[in-house]
Amino acid sequence: MSTIDIAIQLELHSPGRSFDIDVALNSTSPRTALLGPSGAGKSTVLQAIAGLLPGVRGHVRVDGSTLLDSERGIDLPARERGIGLVFQDYALFPHLDVERNLLYGLRRLGRPLPTGARERVDALLAQFGLDGVRHALPRHLSGGQRQRVALARAIAPGPRLLLLDEPLSALDPDLRIRLRDELAEMLERVRMPTLLVSHDQEDVRALAQAVVRIEHGRVVSA
């Protein structure tokens, strides 16, 4: 059974401003939604879980593996956490076409592509309606196409935890419904624990079994 057990404290600083976050969440549901108003700290929490922020205190445990435990001095670097993250603004590699963006996490420098990798990417391209733009660079894509590439790229390497930051916000209603259902089905099938930020009621309903609300960097209801 998949469990996530997370407690995170951190502060963001910039000249004249700071924002602090103190969030704990604990879920045995396969998929949990993280809700909250704009600027509440949702994206920041996801980045902390993924291991992208320095100076995070607390712990991150996924399915029994400890990825972070500041008290015990454990702090796996992002690359060893095996956490897939869809950035809110995608962060696609601008110099790689769609196919290579998807292959990125499957390929290791100086090693041959693992067997099955290409098939996996082909399947994702088809599923996400990206077949026609397989060889396009990100800057030649529409907003919705970019978002789908970001989603597919994060899923491709089969992470042990998937963090989605508004993964469907740029899609038209038809496509959104289709992808949402396929995503739910796929995540269920491969039992990939997921933490999801979304402002869409329907997304949350279809994709998540539990909901955590945060405001001003604090959990307000679990």
Ligand X SMILES: Nc1ncnc2c1ncn2[C@@H]1O[C@H](COP(=O)(O)OP(=O)(O)OP(=O)(O)O)[C@@H](O)[C@H]1O
The residue from 10, 32, 41, 187 that contacts ligand X (CB under 6 A) is 41
Query: Residue 70 has what DSSP assignment?
Result: T
Q: Restricting to residues 161-220, name those near another protein by CB under 8 A.
A: none
Burial-class residue 78 by CB neighbours within 10 Å (0-12, 13-18, 19+): middle
DSSP string, 152-178: HHHHTT--SEEEEESTTTTS-HHHHHH
31 binds, among ligand X, a copy of itself, Mg ion, none (CB under 5 to 8 A by kind): none
Nearer to another protein, 34 or 204 (CB): 34
Nearer to a copy of itself, 34 or 62 (CB): 34
106, 157 contact by CB (below 8 A)? yes
Residue 46 corresponds to which tokens in the numbers above?
A: 């996801």
The residue from 55, 114, 132, 143 that contacts Mg ion (CB under 5 A) is 143
Q: Restricting to residues 120-179, name those near a copy of itself by CB under 8 A.
A: 129, 133, 135-137, 140-145, 148, 165-166, 169-176
170 closest CA partner among 194, 199, 208, 210: 199
Minimum distance from residue 96 beta carbon to Mg ion (Å): 21
Number of residues that bind ligand X (CB under 6 A): 23
The secondary structure element, H or E, covering residue 215 is strand 210-215
Q: Verify binding: residue 13, another protein, rule CB under 8 A.
A: no
Q: Restricting to residues 73-112, name those near Mg ion by CB under 5 A.
A: 88
Query: Identity (one letter) of the amino acid at 112?
Result: P
Strands (E) located in 4-147? 4-14, 17-27, 31-35, 57-62, 65-69, 74-75, 83-86
Nearer to Mg ion, 42 or 120 (CB): 42
Q: How many CB atoms lie within 10 A of CB 106?
A: 17
86, 151 contact by CB (below 8 A)? yes
Q: Verify binding: residue 198, ligand X, rule CB under 6 A.
A: no
Chain contacts with a copy of itself (rule: CB under 8 A): 12, 14, 16-17, 35-40, 42-44, 88-89, 129, 133, 135-137, 140-145, 148, 165-166, 169-176, 199, 201
Chain contacts with Mg ion (rule: CB under 5 A): 43, 88, 142-143
Chain contacts with another protein (rule: CB under 8 A): 15, 47, 50-52, 77-79, 81-85, 87, 89, 91-95, 104-105, 108-109, 137, 153-154, 157
